[in-house]
Structure 1
Amino acid sequence: MAQERQINPMVKMALEYGPIILFFVAYLRLKDRVFTIGGTEYDGFIVVTAAFIPILVAATGAIWALTGKINRMQIATVVLVVVFGGLSVWLNDDRFFKMKPTMIYAFFSGLLAFGLLRGRSYLKYVMEEMMPLQDAGWMLLTKRLMLFFFGMAIANELIWRMFSTEIWVYFKTFGLTAAIFAFFMTQGSLFQTYGIEKDDSGA
């Protein structure tokens, strides 16, 4: 397996979060504008979505070029952004792009559930190098994350269907990220109970 090359953490963070921040800033600036392209009117949200797709693809490609590795979650995210974002732009309908987080979280929830039914933690394959845990810990964390992703999918559906586009953009930009951060912060006792200390003795 090819080893991931290390790059400046600030560069990696800029590539991972930069497209999302640019989407948010561009939306705030263009949300009330209407653009006529090829005789068809597009509101600011659709135009920003059209710009976001290649920016995200380019940023993900840059991560791959610099580190030699991208994880499955990043690949799935790019694919779903291209598919649902592309449908929103092509059909001039923002609903498809708003459904994208629902599809992402439902997909990962279903994937983790499938692994659990087979007695496996697919989460372990993705995150084992970052936080070594006993098998029982991986299974418990996977169950919790499966339920968390399912809840996030439901939350996204409720937000985009019941509230304005602007509220959904704030939720997507800050709410989803904060929820993921809060989830892992609340798993401290699990990491303490099932964590495995790395042997740095060189023996």
Structure 2
Amino acid sequence: MKDTKPWLKPALELGPVLVFFLVFILRRGETTVIAGQEYSAFILATLVFIPALALTTAIQWRLTGRLAPMQVATLVLVIVFGGLSVWLNDPRFFKIKPTMIYLLFAAILGYSLIARRNWLQAVLSEALPMDAQGWRKLTFRMVMLFLALAAANEIVWRTMSETSWVYFKTFGLPVILFVFLMANAGLYRAHATEPSADDKGE
């Protein structure tokens, strides 16, 4: 893996989301005509978000030489559901995209628990060294988190305004994920392992 600045990865991941938010807020209540078709601010923001995410994902792959499976899955679902929203001029498809992503992640991690394969450990072990029991506990908690996030997304977009959903997607979900990671600090400490001799020699 190529060395990159520590701030670059989160900047690339958050960049498209902030672009979506700014386009929506700046054009909220207005319509944009493209090729004779009127689009709301939400659809316009979605139209901008799709290539922005594709670009930042390509940059990450170019800089690091690899992409996490979840990044690839997210990009595919964004293209599919975002594309449907733009093509059909219907924001509902893009709003259910987070639900599909979180259910997919929950299913993948849930299967890894049943199959007794620590896929989460394979992805994050370098940054977070823990024993096998710690990874099983964290995986189970993340399955529960993703199921709760899927349910929360459905409740918000179906019962609240479009603006409320945009704020929830842009700021609420990242805050929830951050709080979840911080709340598991005790788990990280209790199951922490020492770096291997090979790691120490690198």
Aligned residue for 1:80?
A: 77
How far apart in 1 are the matches of 2:142 and 2:8?
28
- Pick from 118, 134, 145 the counterpart of residue 115 of structure 2: 118
Partner residue in 1 for 2:34: 37
Letter in 2 for 1:41: E
Instruction: Find 1:178's aligned residue among 152, 175, 183.
Output: 175
User: Which moved further from structure 2: 71-80 or 10-19?
Assistant: 10-19
How big is the shift at 1:40? 2.1
Which AA in structure 2 matches 1:31? R
Q: Deviations over 1:37-75 (max 9, x none)?
A: 233221111011011100110011011111111111111
Counterpart residue identity of residue 166, structure 1? T
- 1:72-151 alignment runs, 5 A limit: 72-151=69-148
- Asked if the contact 1:115–1:122 (Cα under 8 Å) also holds between the matched residues in 2, the reply is yes
Q: C-alpha deviations, 1:142-179, integer Å up to 9, x for none? A: 01110011000000000000000100000000111011
Equivalent-residue separation in structure 2 for 1:13 and 1:170 (angstroms)? 19
Q: Distance in 2 between matches of 1:188 and 1:9?
A: 21
Q: Which amino acid aligns with 1:34?
A: T
Could you tell me which residue of structure 1 aligns to residue 14 of structure 2?
A: 17
Shift of 1:199: 4.7
Q: Distance in 2 between matches of 1:89 and 1:202?
A: 52
Q: Deviations over 1:165-202 (max 9, x none)?
A: 10000000011101111101011111111111225754
Structure 1: segments with no counterpart, 5+ residues: none
Q: Distance in 2 between matches of 1:55 and 1:131?
A: 30
After superposition, the C-alpha distances for 1:51-106 in whole angstroms (9 at most, x for unaligned) are: 11001100110111111111111111111100000000001000000001000000
TM-score normalised by length of structure 1: 0.94
Write the letter of the residue equivalent to 1:154: A
The answer to whether 1:52 aligns with 2:49 is: yes
Please give the secondary structure, in 2, of the residue aligned with 1:36.
strand
Gaps of 5+ in 2: none
| Residue equivalent to 1:160 | 157
TM-score, scaled relative to structure 2: 0.94
Q: Is the 8 A contact 2:23 2:44 kept in 1?
A: no
Q: Identity, % of aligned pairs?
A: 44
- 1:84-129 CA-to-partner distances (Å, cap 9, x unmatched) read 0000000100000000100000000011111111122221121111
Note if contact 2:130-2:193 (Cα within 8 Å) is conserved in structure 1: yes
Q: For 1:14 and 1:106, locate their aligned partners in 2 and report how far apart those are by CA, in whole Å.
A: 25
Note if contact 2:9-2:60 (Cα within 8 Å) is conserved in structure 1. Answer: yes
Give SS of 1:35's match: strand
Deviation at 1:22, TM superposition (A): 1.1
> Partner letter of residue 23 of structure 1?
F
